[in-house]
Amino acid sequence: MESAVNVARLPLPSPTAAQRWRGRVPGLALAAAVAAAAMGLATLTWLQKHGISALTLAIVLGIVLGNSLYPRMAPRAAAGVGFSKQWLLRAGIVLYGLRLTFQDIGQVGVAGVLIDALVLASTFTLAWWAGTRWFGMDRDSALLIGAGSAICGAAAVMAAEPVVRGRAEQVTVAVSTVVVFGTLGMFLYPALFQLNLAHAWVPMSEQLYGVFTGSTVHEVAQVVAAGRAVSEGAADTAVITKMVRVMMLAPFLVALSLLLARGHAARTDAPRATIVVPWFAFGFVAVAALNSLHLLPQAVVDAAIDLDTVLLAMAMAALGLTTHVSALRQAGMKPLLLALLLFAWLLAGGLGINLGVHALLG
């Protein structure tokens, strides 16, 4: 009898690597199918014209499935969906470095780099302070919304999630605000540029408009659309400025990790603080550095960028699949109000930063 009890207490054998991968296949296949559908839809002319990217479509499709068919699939697909949301995301952030080079910094000059840094720092600080003090939001939601508004939209939100340790619904709410106000900015910026041409409120050439757009609009696709609505030259300047802003993602994540750990340690009732080292941020910089050397054939770079889009789309799809609409409803109006405040700051404060830096260094 005693031996039988002892056998019953023996730990179950851990699954082998092959077993773990077999368990992930259904979820990976589901995330890949949603990503493929999103990427196919993103090629439609109307969606391209309006700056709606495959990543945005992937999370929308994921949310639709997540609140309809996915609950019945979850027992078999959860492992692969979770893997997509975590590890494929990190791989996607690393490969994102292939979209820019250190030479991009030289094209926007000291003024462009300074503008990007000031916009990033001021926007994120405002999000943290206003989100927690004015709107009474939880810190994690405010930080995720701030990261998306300050740097590069959905990709920044997803990259900041492991550092902030946000929940799936918090990440989805933050991504949703990027979609709403980034899309609004995509239409509003060109309209304001044309109005300014007619009334000459502020000095604004097409090049300055490009820097302003790249330093303040949320998503890369939205920056492209807002720039091309004025001219190809404005679009080129806007994209380069935006890519320099994207490059700031890695040092931002490291600084955020150190800051959160320091704040955690300052609490007398808190356990020993730990610093989350975002290894994928260093990978992002390393890949960008490699790309700056122009050692890789262009065909290889293009293929890797296509793969990166697939990985990020799968991560977005997985996020959508695990998000419940009820959680979005419970978030209420506060996230949208914070995102609206940040959008107003990017528009007005970002313009002031742009004009001030150009006046100082021009």
Per residue in 240-269, pLDDT (tens digit) is 888 888 888 888 988 998 888 876 655 544
Lowest-confidence segment of 20-24, 154-158, 210-214 by average pLDDT: 154-158
Residue 88 in contact with residue 315, Cβ under 8 Å? Answer: yes
Is residue 41 situated within a structural domain?
yes
Does 9 fall in a domain? no
Lowest mean pLDDT among 34-38, 149-153, 276-280, 338-342: 276-280
User: Is 115 contained in some domain?
Assistant: yes
Residue 8: pLDDT over 60: no
Over 70: is that where the pLDDT of 78 sits? Answer: yes
Single-letter amino acid code for the residue at 238:
A
The whole-angstrom separation of Cα 226 and Cα 182 is 10
Q: What is the pLDDT of residue 208?
A: 93
pLDDT over threshold 60, residue 12: no
- Give 307's pLDDT tier (boundaries 50, 70, 90): very high
Classify the phi-psi angles of 316: left when phi > 0, otherwise alpha if psi is within -120 to 50, otherwise beta: alpha
Residue 173 lies in a domain: yes
pLDDT at 250: 85
Residue 246 lies in a domain: yes
pLDDT at 118 over 50: yes
What is the domain count for the chain?
1
Cα gap 224→345, rounded to integer Å: 21
Q: What percent of the chain lies above the pLDDT cut of 70?
A: 90
* Max avg pLDDT among 10-24, 209-223, 263-277, 297-311: 297-311
The pLDDT, as a whole number, for residue 77 is: 94
- Span 319-331, average pLDDT: 74
Mean pLDDT on 162-168: 85
For residue range 171-225, list pLDDT tens digits in order: 888 988 887 888 788 889 999 999 998 888 998 999 899 999 999 998 877 887 7
Residue among 41, 40, 30 nearest 69 (CA) = 30
Q: What single DSSP character describes residue 218?
A: S
- Rounded to two decimals, the pTM is 0.74
Could you tell me which residue, 210 or 229, shows the higher pLDDT? Answer: 210
Whether 308 maps to a domain, the answer reads yes
Supply the range of the domain harboring residue 333. 27-267+274-361
Mean of all residue pLDDT scores within the chain? 85
Reply yes or no on whether the pLDDT at 59 is more than 70. Answer: yes
97 to 135, 165, 197, 312: CA distances (angstroms) = 35, 23, 36, 13
Does residue 2 lie within any of the structural domains? no
Rounded mean pLDDT, 29-33: 96
Measure the CA dihedral 83/87/93/98, to 10°: -100
With respect to residue 165, please indicate whether it lies within any of the assigned structural domains: yes
End-to-end CA distance of the chain: 87
Question: Does an H or E element contain 92, and which?
Answer: helix 89-95
> What confidence category does residue 26 fall into, taking pLDDT thresholds of 50, 70 and 90?
very high
